[in-house]
Amino acid sequence: MRVRKLFSLTILLVLLTALTGAAGGAPLAGVCIPGGAYDPACDVDHDGDVDIFDVQLTAGHWSQNGVYVSDNNHNHLGQTWTGADNPITIQGSFAGPALTVNNSAGLGLRVGTGGLNVSSAVDDGVLVGTVGGDGVYIYSAGENGVRISSAGGYGLIVGHTAYDGVFIVSADSTGLNVQLAETGAYVASAGWNGMVVEAAGGDGMRVVSATYNGVYANTTQASGEWGFYTPDKIHGSNVLLESVSLVAQVSGAESLTAGDLVMAAGIADPLPGSTVHLPQVQAAAGAPGGVIGVVEGRLALTARPRPASALGESAAQASELHRAEGPAQPGDYVALTVAGAARVRVSAADGPVTVGQRLTVADLAGHARALRTRTLDGMIVSEGAAVIGTALEPLAAGEGLIWVLVNVQ
C-alpha cells in the first residue's frame, strides 16, 4: 500500500510539473503546485493535509468543467478582493434576502466609492428596519445625496424617528427635490421636526406644482397653534382665510381676558427675531373710536423644549408665542381677532341683543352692545357709532359671551 501511494504521488507530481511548464511556462491558476505551502484550497477533504486522498477525490472528475458551487465550509475573513471587469454577482431566486450582513459592533455595509445603485426592486429599494443611529447617512455627495427617479408608491417614507425625519444640513440648490412621486415626502411620525433645512443656497423647500395643496399643515394643539410659524412676512397673490388674528401687547393698568374688546393704546417693540412693531392695546369703553379687535387669549414667549441633539434652530427661533392660561397682565402679549367669528363680551343693559344686530362699544369696559336706534317720521335710525361687528347669537339680558362676526368699521 505504501509503495502504491508513493507511486501515485510520483505520477501526480509529474503531471503537475508538466502542466506548470505548459503554455509557455504559464503558472497554474491557483496555489496547488508541487512544493507549495499548505493551502486550504488544495485540501479537498478538509482534513488538514494534502495527500493521496485529495488526489483520489478529484481524479475521477479530471477535465470536467461547470459552475463552481461553494461547500460553504470556509470564510474569507480578512481578505481583500481586487479585480477589473469581473464583479461579484449574486443571482438567483431566494426566499429571503440575497445578501445578509449582521454586525453587532459597527456598520452593516460600507461603500467607499461608487455609491449604491438599486436599478430595480420588486419591493423596497432600500429598507432600514431598526438602527441605533442614523437610518441613512450621506456624508458628502457631488450631485444627489438621495435620488429617486420614479416610485410607484412613496418616494421617501419615514415611519418613525426620535429626532428629524429628514435633515438637510446644507444644499447649494434645492434642499429636497422630488421629480415624480405619488407622495413627494411623507413623514408619518417624528419625535421632533418632521423636516429641517438648516441652510439652502436657493429655496429651503419649493413646490413647483401640486394637484392639491402645495403645503398642508395640521397640528394636534387644541388652540390650533401653529399650522405655520415664521417671524418673516408671507407673500401670496390670493389669501383665503376663516379669520384674521393680530398679536398685540397689553398696556394700561387693567388685565385682559378672552372676549374683551380692545382699543389702540400705543406702539410696542417687535418680538425677538422679528422686525414688525406691535400695537399696544387696552380695554375699550365708552368712546367707540380706536377699537382694534377682540381678545382671543393670552400669549407667552415660550422656549421650545428640544432634544440635546436636535439641530436646525437658531437662537432667534428658540422662543415662540404660544397660548397661555390666565388673564393677560400689562406687558403681556395677546392674540386679537380683527376679522372673523369670535366670542365677544356683550352687555344687554340697553336692551336685548338679537341675531343680525350691529354692535358697538358699551360703557362697560371691554364689552359690546347693540347700536341704539330711534324712530323718526316712521323711519328707524341707528346712531352713528363705530361698528365692531354683527351678532351671530342672541343675548336676552345681562352680560355674556356670544358669537359675533367681527368686522371693525
Q: Is 248 in the same domain as 388?
A: yes
Q: Indicate if the pLDDT at residue 14 is higher than 50.
A: no
| Residue 396 confidence (pLDDT) | 96
Q: Is 397 in the same domain as 257?
A: yes
Give dist(CA 371, CA 354) in Å, integer.
11
| Residue 222 confidence (pLDDT) | 84
What tens digit of pLDDT does each residue of 339-382 get? 999 999 999 998 899 999 999 999 999 999 999 888 788 887 77
Q: Is 196 in the same domain as 315?
A: no
What tens digit of pLDDT does each residue of 27-36 get? 444 557 777 7
Give dist(CA 344, CA 284) in Å, integer.
12
Residue 234 lies in a domain: no
| Residue 233 confidence (pLDDT) | 84
Give dist(CA 211, CA 95) in Å, integer.
40
Mean pLDDT of 109-127: 73
Q: How many domains, the chain?
A: 3
Residue 247: helix, strand or coil by DSSP? strand
Residue 135 lies in a domain: no
Q: How confident is the model at residue 136 (pLDDT cuts 50, 70, 90)?
A: confident
Give dist(CA 189, CA 198) in Å, integer.
20
CA nearest neighbour of 168 among 190, 191, 199, 206: 199
Residue 81 lies in a domain: no
Relative to beta strand 157-158, strand 186-187 is parallel
Give dist(CA 337, CA 326) in Å, integer.
18
Mean pLDDT of 156-175: 78
Mean pLDDT of 56-67: 79
| Residue 344 confidence (pLDDT) | 97
Q: Can you give the residue range of the structural domain that contains 249?
A: 244-407
Q: How confident is the model at residue 216 (pLDDT cuts 50, 70, 90)?
A: confident
Residue 63 lies in a domain: no
| Residue 33 confidence (pLDDT) | 72
**Where is 244: in which H helix or E strand?**
strand 244-250
Model confidence, pTM = 0.60
